[in-house]
Amino acid sequence: ITSKLPNNTTTIFTTMSLMAAKYNAINLSQGFPNFNCDPKLLVLVSKAMEEGHNQYAPMPGDILLRERISQKIETLHGAFYNPETQITITAGATQAIFTAIAATIHKGDEVILFTPAYDCYAPSVTLFGGKVVPVQLQPPSYSPDWMTVRNSVSEKTKMIIINSPHNPSGMLFSENDMLQLQEIAEKNNLLVLSDEVYEHIIFEDATHQSAARFSALAKRTFITASFGKTFHATGWKMGYCAAPENLMAEFRKVHQYNVFSVNNPIQKALATYLKDASHYNGLGAFYQQKRDYLIALLKGSRFKLQPSKGTYFQLLDYTEITQEADVSFAERLTKEYGVATIPTSVFNTENKDFKQLRVCFAKTEETLEKAAEILKSI
């Protein structure tokens, strides 16, 4: 058959996790915690199953869960999203992103995204006939250059995709970044997809600049979020999309034929669990401690780093160690040293000279200690 994605192969996350298993390496590559979620949440899931919530959820999701999400957004960002018409529960953020793109991108539309970019954006755009227009983020800050964005907008531009906190760099969009984006989106009548999966993993008391906080921007934005990141349960594949009513109506037209609805008992459990804000409000401090622990352990190593400002990822610059390309260095680190990481050049980046590897620090202290000991020896 003629491939619809001729330039894609198996994702780097699958590739590196398989390689880690094959060589029995410590897996700091694919982003997921190696500790369990809150036992209280597990009890709520089994209770929901025992109570018989094992049939289809409503197409847009459990209404109590949507109400709790609406309350959370209002409390944190001062914006009201109607749970009936503006919030849909999805199979992870991945399905929310795919659905938002499927519902809006026509053949020939251009979509601006910032590279390095999380791997699922570009193929989703390509599948629906859109053209990806990359705007490169430059180290060490990885902050967006809005003049380049302005110059990248054409008559065909339909959407801008943003991701803050940013995977893989840990960069955060500032309030000013969001205002610049708002101005460009309004002036050019663009849609925005704001991938906010790491919304609660922010360090040094910074504020998450959700698109929901900027009313003119929010009117044209799909916000996507992931319970997997927030509740240490990436394997549940649960997330949601929040968007204005006109956009959400189109989103649901696709969602209903894509999955129809998602895991009912987990939605019931999450609705109860979300009553308590303490878990997600404490998540930044929880992961900051892990970030700081890893940084302290790596002191004196030949890897250089700028502390991540958000997400559970840290980039490591290896220019002092070798000039080899990041894909081959990451392979060698896995096979010869027993630590698996993610080479950043595979995030659709234009700059193939990046000498940066991404490590995930959502790991127990013991794992971080073992990994850091090896990395220090290189």
Q: Does 13 bind ligand GLN (CB under 6 A)?
A: yes
With CB atoms as reference, the residue minimizing the distance to ligand PMP is: 92
Using alpha carbons, select from 211, 215, 266, 261 the residue that is nearest to residue 53.
266
Spatial separation of the C-alpha atoms in residues 27 and 334, rounded to whole Å:
9
31 vs 170, beta carbon nearer ligand GLN: 31
162-191 binders of ligand GLN (CB under 6 A): 167
342 vs 368, beta carbon nearer ligand PMP: 342
178 vs 297, beta carbon nearer ligand PMP: 178
| Minimum gap (Å) between residue 311 Cβ and ligand PMP | 7
Residue 182 site contact among ligand GLN, ligand PMP, none (CB < 5 to 8 Å, cut-off depends on kind): none
- CB distance 161 to 133 below 8 Å: no
Residue 239 site contact among ligand PMP, ligand GLN, none (CB < 5 to 8 Å, cut-off depends on kind): ligand PMP
Q: Which positions lie near ligand PMP, rule CB under 6 A?
A: 31, 92-94, 118, 163, 167, 195, 197, 226, 228, 234, 237, 239
- CB distance 58 to 261 below 8 Å: yes
Q: Does 31 bind ligand GLN (CB under 6 A)?
A: yes
Spatial separation of the C-alpha atoms in residues 240 and 252, rounded to whole Å:
12
| Minimum gap (Å) between residue 279 Cβ and ligand PMP | 17
| Minimum gap (Å) between residue 319 Cβ and ligand PMP | 25
* Look-up of token digits 């002036």: 187
| Minimum gap (Å) between residue 378 Cβ and ligand GLN | 22
| Minimum gap (Å) between residue 121 Cβ and ligand PMP | 8
- Which listed residue (15, 27, 30, 334) binds ligand GLN by CB under 6 A? 30
| Minimum gap (Å) between residue 229 Cβ and ligand PMP | 7
Using alpha carbons, select from 29, 24, 46 the residue that is nearest to residue 37.
46
Query: Site residues (CB under 6 A) for ligand GLN?
Result: 11, 13, 30-31, 167
